[in-house]
Amino acid sequence: MTTTRAAVLRSADKEHVVEEITLADLRPDEVLVKIAGTGMCHTDMMARDPALGALLTPMVLGHEGSGVVVAVGSAVIAVHPGDHVLLSFASCGACRECLKGAPAYCENFDALNATGRYPDGSTGATDAQGRPVPNRWFGQSSFAEQAIAAERDVVVVDKDLPLELLGPLGCGIQTGAGAVLNEIRLAPGQSLAVFGAGAVGLAAVMAAKLAGASDIVVVDLNESRLDLAKELGATRTVLGGGEGVVEQVIDAGPGMDFSLETTAVGKVITDAVAVLARRGTAVLVGVGTGLLSVPPPQLAGRKVTFVLEGGAVPRVFLPQLIRFWREGRFPFDRLVRTYPLAEINAAEADSLSGRTIKPVLIP
């Protein structure tokens, strides 16, 4: 067993508290990672919803971890102590979708990622009083000094990389870029409207520029984020929240080939469909309670889908993103602001206010 410090969220309406927890012994397929940095994602804030929080908390959240392997389980063969790794979402590796090379659509995705527990309902950590603390959020719970993940859910990276900054590649950045490159497969000359200029949306903008899009339109409520979107590759921006957003995005043209919706706000989802040209596709990635409401005729020739984790195979896709970053074509680090783990509540407040696009917590 290993004692470590972790940020524990006790209930939806409480602050995270950094306290000591004890991690259980490694299972045969698991690795213990000393965390170098962990991105904070809006999915981590699902536990702030009162109904969900009542089910999830107490919990150690965090699912964009990076770090150095400290120890490995008895059955681990491809990861070794001292390896530098990124942690990504969990998948079973044995279901039909995993065997088809689509772990983001693992048939056991919810049980492995969205409960904070092992599929049998057990946890892998206890607090100072011996009470169980769920620590399997997206298979890692990396708001901590040390975290446990399954071997198949880690990606070994070169040791010369700035490890503390790479964690966000494992979920948010992967989701935005992967939606464009893996799911949409944007071709040169095509157009994309991105709704929401957070980390996911701006990763999509950078990916669309990489793909050679002719028109990249970004919609957001924050003017400073729209300015950054232009620097990262947007050809046009639209200030959201007012009237005429759809008309401004279309700009008297036939509509967009694709749209990407990251906010999960009902009105924005509707707009993401309304801006499409005939035969266009709207890709939804925002996690929330917003509903899609459109007249059926508006879907004539159009498609709407929801994409998980950018449809990525992390061990294949994350090295590609790192290569693009090394080449100067995917500057995701411009989205990052670091905070000590002890300042997790300030990081959360800055993320919610829009002051920080991608907080990264450094234990």
At 111, the pLDDT band (50, 70, 90 cuts) reads very high
**C-alpha–C-alpha distance, residues 177 and 192, integer Å:** 13
Q: How many angstroms separate the CA atoms of 363 and 361, rounded? A: 6
Total residue count of the chain as it appears in this document: 363
pLDDT for 182 beyond 90: yes
Confidence check: pLDDT of 340 > 80: yes
Peptide bond into 58 cis (omega under 30): yes
Among positive and negative, which fits the CA dihedral 48, 49, 55, 61? negative
- What pLDDT is attached to residue 287? 87
Cα R_g (the chain), whole angstroms: 20
Say what the pLDDT of residue 292 is: 87
pLDDT at 35: 98
Please state the rounded mean pLDDT for residues 310-316.
Answer: 97
Rounded Cα gap, residues 81 and 71, in angstroms: 5
pLDDT at 247: 97
Four-CA torsion 198, 200, 204, 207, nearest 10 degrees: 110
At the topology level, CATH places domain 2-170+331-362 in: Quinone Oxidoreductase; Chain A, domain 1 (3.90.180)
Does position 100 have pLDDT exceeding 80, yes or no? yes
Judged against a pLDDT cut of 90, whether residue 290 lies above it is answered with no
Q: How far apart are CA 3 and CA 21, in angstroms?
A: 6
At 269-281, the pLDDT tens digits run 999 999 999 999 9
pLDDT the model gives residue 242:
85
Spatial distance between the Cα atoms of 228 and 83, rounded to a whole number of angstroms: 34
Domain boundaries of the chain, sorted by first residue: 2-170+331-362, 177-308
- Could you name the CATH architecture of 177-308? 3-Layer(aba) Sandwich (3.40)
Sheet order of strands, 59-60 included? 59-60, 2-9, 16-23, 125-127
Q: What are the pLDDT digits (tens) for 218-265?
A: 999 999 999 999 999 999 999 998 889 999 999 999 999 999 999 999
pLDDT at 135 over 90: yes
Separation of alpha carbons 361 and 37, rounded Å: 5
Q: Which residues make beta-bridge pairs with 218?
A: 194, 237
- Residue 229: half-sphere exposure toward Cβ, Cα within 13 Å: 31
Q: Is pTM, for the whole model, over 0.75? A: yes
- Chain centre to alpha carbon of residue 342: 22
Who's near 75: CB < 8 A, 6+ residues apart?
28, 29, 151
Runs of H (alpha helix) within the chain: 50-56, 96-99, 109-113, 172-178, 199-211, 223-232, 245-250, 266-274, 314-326, 344-353
Give the mean model confidence (pLDDT) for residues 116-126: 95
User: Rounded mean pLDDT of 285-303?
Assistant: 89
Q: Within 13 A of 16's CA, how many CA atoms are on the CB side?
A: 27
Q: What is the pLDDT of residue 14?
A: 95
DSSP per-residue letters across 239-280: E-SSTTHHHHHHTTSS-EEEEEE-S--HHHHHHHHHTEEEEE
Nearest to 85 by CA among 164, 165, 160, 156: 156
Provide the mean pLDDT of the chain: 96
Q: Would 2-170+331-362 and 177-308 be classified into the same CATH topology?
A: no
- At 351-362, the pLDDT tens digits run 999 999 999 999
